[in-house]
C-alpha cells in the first residue's frame, strides 16, 4: 500500500491537482490499483456544473495518468533521489471512453495495467470504476525523462 505522503514523493502534483489518494495494490511492472475520493469540495465543481455536479472526464484521465506514473516509477526500482530528478510526460491518450458519470461522494478506483514497456516508454491500459462499475477507460502512452 502507498499512502498520499509517499505518493507525493513520487509525483510532483499537489493540491488541487493531485488526483490519487492511495494505492492499494501494486504488482511491479504489471498492475496497480488505487483510488481517489471525489468530494463536493473539489474546485472543479464550482463550474462543472453548478446544481448538477459531474466530475470531468479529463480529470478522470489525468488520475489514470498519475496512477500510471506511480506504476512506472515503482516498477523501475528507482531511489527517492532518482525519482526526484525524473518526470513522466504523457505522449498520447487513445481509445478514451466515458461510460458513466462520476459524482461527489463516489470513490473512483483506478486500475492500471502495463501493455508494453521498452526502456523509458510505457504503454498502459487505464480503467476507472465506481462501485465495480466501469466509468472510463483509455490507453495511455508515457515517457519518463530527466527534469
Q: Kindly name the residue from 13, 43, 48, 52 that is annotated as catalytic.
A: 48
Contact (Cβ atoms closer than 8 angstroms) between residue 130 and residue 106: yes
Question: Would you give the end-to-end CA distance of the chain in angstroms?
Answer: 27
CB 123 within 8 A of CB 141: yes
Residue ranges of E strands in the chain: 22-27, 31-37, 86-98, 107-118, 121-130, 133-146
Is 48 annotated in the active site?
Answer: yes
User: Which residues are known to be catalytic?
Assistant: 48
Amino acid at each position: 500500500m502507498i499512502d498520499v505522503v509517499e505518493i507525493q514523493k513520487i509525483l510532483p502534483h499537489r493540491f488541487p491537482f493531485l488526483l490519487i489518494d492511495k494505492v492499494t495494490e501494486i504488482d511491479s511492472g504489471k498492475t496497480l490499483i488505487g483510488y481517489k475520493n471525489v468530494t463536493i469540495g473539489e474546485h472543479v465543481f464550482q463550474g462543472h456544473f453548478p446544481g448538477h455536479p459531474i466530475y470531468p472526464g479529463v480529470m478522470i484521465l489525468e488520475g489514470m495518468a498519475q496512477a500510471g506514473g506511480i506504476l512506472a516509477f515503482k516498477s523501475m526500482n528507482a531511489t527517492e533521489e532518482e525519482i526526484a530528478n525524473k518526470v513522466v510526460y504523457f505522449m498520447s491518450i487513445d481509445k478514451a471512453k466515458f461510460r458513466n458519470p462520476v459524482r461527489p461522494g463516489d470513490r473512483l478506483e483506478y486500475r492500471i495495467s502495463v501493455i508494453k514497456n521498452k526502456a523509458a516508454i510505457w504503454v498502459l491500459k487505464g480503467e476507472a470504476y465506481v462501485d465495480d462499475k466501469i466509468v472510463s477507460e483509455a490507453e495511455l502512452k508515457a515517457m519518463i525523462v530527466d527534469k
